[in-house]
Structure 1
Amino acid sequence: MNEEIEIDCPQHGRVALATVCGHLVRNHGVPLGFIENSDEPDDKQGWCYACEFVYLQEEDKTDRFIAFTDYAVVCVHCYDQIKAHHQFDGPMTSAGESEG
């Protein structure tokens, strides 16, 4: 049972919700890397390489990790735009991305 939660996006209207770390939302300059945190195509969650580093140190979504990520809620279309801007081939690309 996969029930979508929707939000009102100023750019895209009422659409499904996604989450990303606050670093990705606040940084529109140099790409920070992008780690997708879900194998479910309809459950869009992502964070930057710095967040992945903290996640690997903590070995879980601990209080320290959650505070560091400073999660932001965005719509799925904004998520795709953020991912396109920040994703690049780098040293941690395979750490959080596994295809089926």
Structure 2
Amino acid sequence: MNYVVHMMVDNVPVGTYSQEKQTWMWSWFNDSSIEKSKYKFLIVKEFGVKNQYEKLQEGTFPSDEFDGWELTSVCLDFLNGIGAYKVNSDHLDFYMVLTAVEERNSKDVQQFRQKTVDCNQHGYSRPGFVCQHLDCKTVRGFQEAFDTYKGMELAEDDDFQAWCDECEKVRVEHGEWNEESESFAQIKLVCENCYFELKEFNQISNN
């Protein structure tokens, strides 16, 4: 009999190796990465500065795939990681350090799942709430409870919340969110990634 054990893995991005350009880029130097955990490796950069190791302090430099594993092993030691792995996508090799592995049904994982949404498209991520009218087909404006950006830290009682321009008009007419304005909005649950896809589509098209 075969058993399938579902696990969840915590990882920290180390950096990327470009097969086309043959260059290495540290995750902390990569502005395109929104992973806040990448800054954990600034301690490696500081070590490189103190000990004059150029590859540990320069954000990007000419390299090869062997550097990727060597630099990842250095980071593995600094974080006391439990392993490392590489993922290839579009001529880029992504190097990661594993810091923890949890069984899917463990207490910590269950607590994590209670605070997240299991999206069919994006997997587990934080929840967001949007009105029924928002989609990525028709531009309807994007009003928010407060300014947001992807990956931002939220206060314990805060959520990503947004609604379209028509919902904003109804809300203003009633002076607040009440039974009538909420009935018009018909707020629905989405994941954080879906939320910011909706935001990007509606905001860019409004400019």
**Shorter-chain-normalised TM-score: which range?**
0.7 to 0.9
Gaps of 5+ in 1: 90-100
Question: Which structure carries more relative contact order (alpha carbon 8 Å, separation 6+)?
Answer: 1
SS in 1 for 2:118: strand
Which structure features the higher share of strand residues? 2
Q: Which of the residues 3, 17, 21 maps onto 2:131?
A: 21
CA shift for structure 1 position 63: 0.1
Q: Which of the residues 18, 24, 48 maps onto 2:164?
A: 48
Q: Which of the residues 58, 62, 66 maps onto 2:178?
A: 62
Find runs of 4+ consecutive structure 1 residues off by over 6 angstroms.
Answer: none
Q: TM-score, normalised by structure 1?
A: 0.76
Q: TM-score, normalised by structure 2?
A: 0.38
SS in 1 for 2:126: strand
Counterpart of 1:33 in structure 2 is 141
Counterpart of 2:116 in structure 1 is 6
Q: Does 1:85 align with 2:177?
A: no
Q: Which of the residues 64, 73, 85 maps onto 2:189?
A: 73
Which structure features the higher share of helix residues? 2
Aligned counterparts of 2:185 and 2:143: Cα–Cα separation in 1: 12
Gaps of 5+ in 2: 1-113
Aligned counterparts of 1:21 and 1:55: Cα–Cα separation in 2: 12
SS in 1 for 2:183: helix
SS in 1 for 2:171: helix
- The alignment yields a C-alpha RMSD, in angstroms, of 1.8
CA shift for structure 1 position 39: 5.0
Aligned counterparts of 1:30 and 1:74: Cα–Cα separation in 2: 17
